[in-house]
Structure 1
Amino acid sequence: MELVRREKSALIALECPPAYNGSMKHASHHPTPASDWYENAFDLTRGIAAYTRSPLIDGIAKVIAKHPDADIANAFNHKQVACKIWARDTLLQAAGKSYQRIVVLGGWYGILPAMLLEDRRFEIAVAESYDIDPSVETVARTLNATHADRFRAVTADMYAVDYAQLGADLIVNTSCEHIADLRSWLELIPAGTRVLLQSNDYFSEPTHINCVASVEAFADQAKLATLDFAGALPTKKYTRFMLIGTV
């Protein structure tokens, strides 16, 4: 089995979002105290959004403005982004560009759907973010407001979802280290459905109840019917593993 390691991704052309309008108090002033961190972060991100014309960065600026309690800095840190870029780019190479319905489980603030929807290399009709935490649903909608006609945030338990009724042609779960019995969950998904799965070897993290030591161990655990990709992405503290195939 070939291991594929990717740590960098080329920049891509992004579709121009509408300009984000809002008040700005400190555009030409010196940095303000820590109490004004959110205002400074908002000014910074909307400036980056204007420069890059990225709907995702525009969405992050809106999240900072509308949801100050959201942990968006953690959700969009460099490790999170690197793993999602790896997933996005490898999905394109291994499984193609066209999808009618992508469902991301444990989607949190909907960053991966946002990355997929703004990438013009893909042809995606609808991308959905499912999470058991009801507090993240409105944040995910704000983040993906530019794609409101193609994005949906859903509060649901992944074990209670009727996957046959869902009719997704791609199901994504990048948190398999949190699933006690991965194979039992995969058996809920109709045979032939394409999945993208990630896990890691970060055994020292208490919330990780089902880590794997290698990509081979991950593949053995998942037992996918077909396997289009199996690879590893080393990070500073752990290695992340990914499988793309069908159940």
Structure 2
Amino acid sequence: MNSFSGKKVLVIGGSRGIGAAIVRRFTSAGATVVFTYSASQEAADAVAKQTGARAARVDSADRDAVIEFVASCGPLDVLVVNAGVVVFGDPATIATDAVDRLFTVNIHSPYFAAVEASKRMPDYGRILIIGSANGDTVPFVGLTAYAMSKSAVQGLARGLARDLGPRGITVNVIQPGPTDTDMNPAGGPMEQMMLAGLSIKRYGKAEEIAAMALFLAGPEAGYVTGSIQSMDGGMSG
């Protein structure tokens, strides 16, 4: 029997890469899925057509838009916050506006989306945040702001897990390492640098991250909360 039949899932950032794999995984498991996208309308339309999920354009850098959209979805059984941006460079020279946007998308948006969803979420619901192995380790220069943002969501998960624990709602972070997506493809210019720090010498697959998301959202993971699940090929080991 399909354990997600009748369940309502919202994926913030579901048009490409890991987010799209998560949308596919939950729809194939019988869930009713809504996902957001910011700029990739063509990709979003393709995922929606392929899966039957509903796509909605929402800018994760717009706090009020995120809150309003999550509220409009009504009670959710599962919220997955996947949207994120990356900014690399010398912290002394990176544009302050770029750093502000990074923090807004990577920290503020997960916080407000999770809190808003929790207001209507039934007991024993699930909140998942897709973080990064860089929340635990910074293997090369230029990652200060990004790593800071990914460490911040660890505190969000641990704190919100405490706040929502009495209702049986779990809150967890999945931390991928190098993953084969459009943003950082296997075989791309960063591959050798990425693989050098891994125990398993390959990129991860978006489908592997999606499988972990499905498990953490399921009934077997009801005792897992406030946890940081690393899926990084040993990068942070």
TM-score (norm 1): 0.44
Q: More helix per residue: 1 or 2?
A: 2
CA radius of gyration, larger in: 1
